A and B are shown apart, each in its own frame.
Chain A
Amino acid sequence: MKNNERNKPKIVWLQAITCNGNTHSFLSANVNRLKLFLNSFDLIYHPSLTTDILLDDLLKKDEEIDFLLVEGAISSNKEFFQLSNQTTNEILKKLVLKSKYLIAVGSCASYGGVHKKFEQNNNILGLQEALFEHDTSTLKHPIVNLTGCPVHPEWIFQTLFSLKEYKQIALDEKGRPKEIYSYLAHHGCTRNEYFEWKVEANSFGLKEGCLFYEQGCRGPMTHSNCNKILWNDVNSKTRAGMPCIGCTEFDFPRNNMLETKKNIGIPDEVPLGVSKRAYLSIAGVAKTFKIDRLNEKIIK
């Protein structure tokens, strides 16, 4: 082994009950960031990327793992889900014991996500729920939840590089890094001006208008920085015209994600931290400003 390899923190990426979406999100990372990552860490195991060892070998090895990244939900039901003849729950517990940091990659690993909706298996859990206190006693840090369906690759890089350098990262009450999840998806959306002046998008397929009033946009209630650190370097859902569906939140996926639930024409839920009454009076005032520019096509 080369000398510099020895000092690189070791990463193991486990895929539990997942669609592999986080892996493909990760592989779609910014080219230079991915290179720097591969130079700075030693990804010793990933079920779809590495070839040297199999999961079974990894479980038998004594080797210490610095960062255990888990993609997907956990279950102790072997009939529905097994890897190398074991449940994801058994594998997780064995690997955690060898690891210093445990990171949930994606909403499924964090809280169960889409897969938790499979009610016939009533044993689908996020990492925190799946592990007891004694299972995690050897960890040097509380579990980090990188929510998102999928998670943005940059969130993974920032978390890993921070932990490598500073050994810890501040988490919110849901276990998510504060510096990523204190923002709302709404921050930086190119439709913000429409939101302020209550100009709704009259339909899908438009550059103009805010998607909050009709299309169900959860931007003002969703903790993520999708409009600050853009997706694939170039865009975000709301910039493109798709409402935010709140995939970084505990309650994802919700029902009727592509429409706004309303009560007598008023959105049922209002932006985080604003009282409904205050919101309604501001909205009323804003609507009285008929700003021509915002009611026209951006490009005429």
Chain B
Amino acid sequence: MKTVDIVERIEGEAKLVCQWNKEKISDVKIQFLNFRGFEFILKDKPALDALVYTPRICGICGQAHLKATVEALENIYKNHNEELILTKKAKLLREIGLNIEIIDSHIKWFYMFIMPDIVKFSQNNLAEYTPLKGKKWLEASMIASETIKSLALIGGQWPHTSYMIPGGVMSDPTLLDLISMQNYMDQAIIFFENSLVGIKLDNYLDFKKSEDLYKVKGDLKDFITISFENEFEKIGKSYNRHLVLGDSLSFEKGKINRKLTKNISYENIEELTLNSFDIDKSKISKEAYTWSKTALYSNNFYETGPLSRAIVQNRDFVNDIHRKYKDSMFTRILARMDELGFLLFKTKELIKQIDINEDSFIKPKVSLSDFKYGFGQSAVEACRGSLYHDIEIENGIISKYDVITPTVWNLGPGIEDKLSTSQKAIIGTDSLAKAKLILRSFDVCSVCTTH
């Protein structure tokens, strides 16, 4: 039996084509049938304009694209041995901006994209999670919009600001701005404590063992209870291989393929189109079924995202849950919400480290158009995982721009006899509703996938 199902509410649309055998999914194809052509759009544009374009690849992780662009452009300087000075303040303001966006996204994701479907598996009536109407849904959207104000204070607005530029950032916050940012973070922390986990953030961050799961109260407890009632800790397992490409004050890069390696080289990244459509029709294979490409590291599929970040970074609580429940759907969702707590704490710390007397921006001595040819790469950790940008310029004009989004790592098509990360996670599931949840557990963004 074959089923074709359209999945909405995943930031765009995907088609889930399942083959069934003895009431279990025996094969699955995830189709993304939309293509917006950003890599083509960026070609022939002035290099700095990429700072305006790439945030528009995605309305939810635009700051990640912005940071990736600015760092790829700065990498061009580096590859020319052209010194570029970046103050600590500028670095902090960029990372704080990105973290706030991730915080905002995690809150929205749990309440808008995950819980409305999870509660359908509960025997209890949990109408509080109903989209647009339920108390909890409303509360979450309110706190998300309060939180993002702290990014607007340094970026001017959210979404789609381009406040980062080679050499630093465009804004110069005052001490009062920083205090206001702290205040917005504190509000989000209060929400985390009172609504999401029902205990103090400090106590939560002290959790080390999977048994600590039982100390969680609040909305996350609803998730945990429903998960164990329905054995969500047993489904959605994939290769258990993890990749973190981005390195920052908040995250460490590395990969896990059985054992942890901190040594990451962009050289090992490969993007393939064996099962993908191509704008050049003569290149499309018969098997092509999606606009998403396939991303591999050292010839292997890897998962990327908050779960991968937590275990590469050795964060105890998630580590122990992962040891027990592997890369299950339960672990993946829990890791994302754990990261919310971690980032709230971390981002407040980063705000405190800003020295307002430092410069925000130091003008590069040469302009990008002074380079006859240049190339640069960068990787940042976006809300959904590792984001990679690769750029080439000629006399300041973009000649090539390649983007690999986190969702391409997780949701791109498998190739030859290798299943992709999400395909492997879905196969073996006994219901469509669960398959969709597993898909969602990766935090799907079709908008990003098919940039």
Contact = CB atoms under 8 A, between A and B. Distances in A.
17 contacts: A15-B12, A17-B36, A19-B59, A25-B59, A27-B108, A34-B145, A38-B133, A47-B12, A48-B113, A51-B130, A82-B34, A205-B172, A205-B359, A205-B361, A236-B157, A253-B49, A256-B46
A62 interface: no
B181 to A, nearest CB: 10
Interface residues of A, number: 69
B442 to A, nearest CB: 16
Interface string B131-164: 1110000100110111011011111111111110
A228 interface: no
A150 B49 CA distance: 17
Nearest to A88: B34
A257 B359 CA distance: 23
A239 B158 CA distance: 14
**What's the dominant secondary structure at chain A's contact region?**
loop
Interface stretch (B37-45, B201-209, B343-351, B370-378): B37-45
A19 B57 contact: yes
Most chain A beta-carbon contacts within 10 A, residue among B33, B53, B58: B33
Interface in B89-144: 90, 104, 108, 112-113, 116-117, 130-133, 138, 141-142, 144
A47 B13 contact: yes
B280 to A, nearest CB: 10
Given A31-B142, A235-B153, A237-B161, A114 B59 contact: no
Interface string A8-47: 0000000101111111110111110011001000010001
A10 B61 CA distance: 30
B56 to A, nearest CB: 5
A242 interface: yes
A285 interface: no
A212 to B, nearest CB: 14
Interface in A208-239: 226, 231-239
B10 interface: yes
Given A51-B9, A51-B116, A239 B45 contact: no
Most chain B beta-carbon contacts within 10 A, residue among A28, A29, A119, A237: A28
Contacts of B90: 205
Nearest to A119: B40
A204 B58 contact: no
B211 to A, nearest CB: 34
B132 A19 contact: no
B169 interface: yes
Contact of B163 (A30, A150, A241): A241
A204 B167 contact: yes
Contacts of B12: 15, 20, 47-48
B155 A242 contact: yes
A56 B35 CA distance: 21
Contact of A203 (B34, B52, B180, B361): B361
A115 B59 contact: no
A128 B158 CA distance: 27
Contacts of B363: 203-204
A134 to B, nearest CB: 28
A259 B48 contact: yes
A233 B447 CA distance: 27
B361 to A, nearest CB: 3
B279 interface: yes
A120 B360 CA distance: 39
A230 to B, nearest CB: 8
Interface string A233-273: 11111111110010100000101111100000000000000
Interface in A85-142: 114-115, 117-121
